[in-house]
Structure 1
Amino acid sequence: MRGAMASGSAVVLARALEALDVGGAADKINLIPQDFFAELCEQIIQHLNHKIPGVDTAELCQRIQTSGIEINVGDLAKIANVVSFLFSTAARNSLSTEELVTTLGNAVTALPKHAVQVIRHVWNEHGKSISVSEDARNMATLGQFVDIKWKLGVAMSSDTCRSLKYPYVTVMLKVADPSGQITDKSFEMTIPQFKNFFRQFKEMAAVLETV
């Protein structure tokens, strides 16, 4: 009975992988060195285990590019989504390492050998630890705040004015979206706007202290 259930789940996974155009992602995975791909898989496992808010594909992409590999953050995000789907689906269906690797090999013939080795190792080490409950999936509908930074600048010119010289604050946010991708968002505020922004944070902190 267990074998029949696993076989049926493997078929579902294989069809879903085909629908995700994993073949296209496989071409990009081939560009990523094994150590970086292993790090990506480890981050995804940690995210699925709710140990980190998401996968920082922008930061990882920058390090991969620094090593001399030409890949953009959009392609890396697609790879992360595919691997995350792979692991979460395998966890929900309790697939063994061999079932997962066999299904993946049948569905994606273009997947490079080093990627299969990494997936085998990561799933063998951490596959049983993933708990993807229905409640957890239902809760993961909103983004999650990760980090905030700010810096002070001075606007020197614009299209309508040669010399402005007014101070402004740039706020940079890291936010994990529901899929687990960490994205960077930034916006500028005038000093009065930033002071109001800061005041509202102080008000929230004061309310939280009473909870």
Structure 2
Amino acid sequence: MPGLDASHGDHIVGNIAALSHDLLADTCQHILNYLQGHVRGVDSSEISDSFQRAGVSLDHEALQNIIRFLLLTFRSAGKSNLSAEDVVLRLQEGSSKWPKASLQVVQRLWSEQGSLVHARQETQAMLSIGQLVDMQWKLGMAVSSDTCRSLNSPFVSLLLKIADPSGQIYQRSFEMTIPQFTNFHKQFKEMAAVLETV
């Protein structure tokens, strides 16, 4: 399913096949929780700890490859709105090394949670707005301005760095009078308070 060369994909599938059903289900659940927005990221150290407790010894790169493979698989399936049967079919097409029991784990989890992942991805696509990366400000004195009525009045100059959904960073700058900046600050505090309750 994810774009891997066959030998590398078979090696990753071989490592996944060595996991117990419970360990595979737990690893998949970590990833599905992230894709549904329940957690901010996939905690590979937590997954590594559960592997060690179960007696599975994989090096860091092998563990990261498993996580990336499953993440790409579920993310791709969510974007394409695939059924659980289609996910299993694509995995089987990608590698002949999949054991039936591992595919059953993936199929069960995707049939239970795939629609939630798809819904989250559609929502993110609709709400794909830029993310504020950095904000700088400085206080200045107006010598000439379109918004300040009188010269020699203080103003605040803001420079915002924003990452758009594609990952490209762009800058926007603007000036505000002190009352405008005070109102802007107040609105930012209100937004922060609301976001803390979410």
1:112 aligned residue (93, 99, 104): 99
Stretches of structure 2 lacking an aligned partner (at least 5 in a row): 134-187, 193-198
Check if 1:59 corresponds to 2:49: no
Provide the residue aligned with 1:79 in structure 2.
Answer: 66
SS at structure 2 position matched to 1:21:
helix
Cα distance change of structure 1 residues 112 and 57 upon mapping to structure 2, 3 Å threshold: farther
- The aligned runs of 1:1-211 (5 Å cut-off) are 14=1, 16-18=3-5, 21-130=8-117, 131-133=120-122, 134=125
Pick the structure with greater CA Rg.
2
Q: In the alignment, is the contact (CA less than 8 A) between 1:61 and 1:76 conserved in 2?
A: yes
Rounded Cα–Cα distance in structure 1 between residues aligned with 2:96 and 2:129: 33
Tell me by how many angstroms 1:73 deviates.
3.0
Any idea what SS the aligned residue of 1:83 has?
helix
Counterparts in 2 of 1:87 and 1:141: CA distance versus 1, 3 Å: farther
Q: Compute the displacement of 1:54 (Å).
A: 1.4
Whether the 8 Å contact between 2:12 and 2:65 is mirrored in structure 1 is yes
Provide TM-score, normalisation by structure 2. 0.58
Deviations 1:146-195 (A, max 9, x none): xxxxxxxxxxxxxxxxxxxxxxxxxxxxxxxxxxxxxxxxxxxxxxxxxx
CA distance in 2 between counterparts of 1:33 and 1:119 reads 13
Q: Deviations over 1:12-31 (max 9, x none)?
A: xx472547932121111122
Alignment match, 1:186: none
Distance in 2 (CA, whole Å) between partners of 1:83 and 1:141 is: 29
| Contact persistence 2:6–2:94 (CA under 8 A) | no
Q: Determine the C-alpha separation between the residues in 2 that align with 1:59 and 1:25.
A: 19
Shift of 1:68: 1.9
Distance 1:44 1:102 in 2: 20
**How many Å separate the matches in 1 of 2:78 and 2:43?**
22
Root-mean-square deviation (CA, aligned residues, Å) is 3.0
Q: Secondary structure of the equivalent of 2:121?
A: coil
Return the offset for 1:66: 2.7
With structure 1 as the length reference, what TM-score do the two structures score?
Answer: 0.54
Cα 1:18/1:129, change in 2 over 3 Å: farther
- Aligned residue pairs total 134
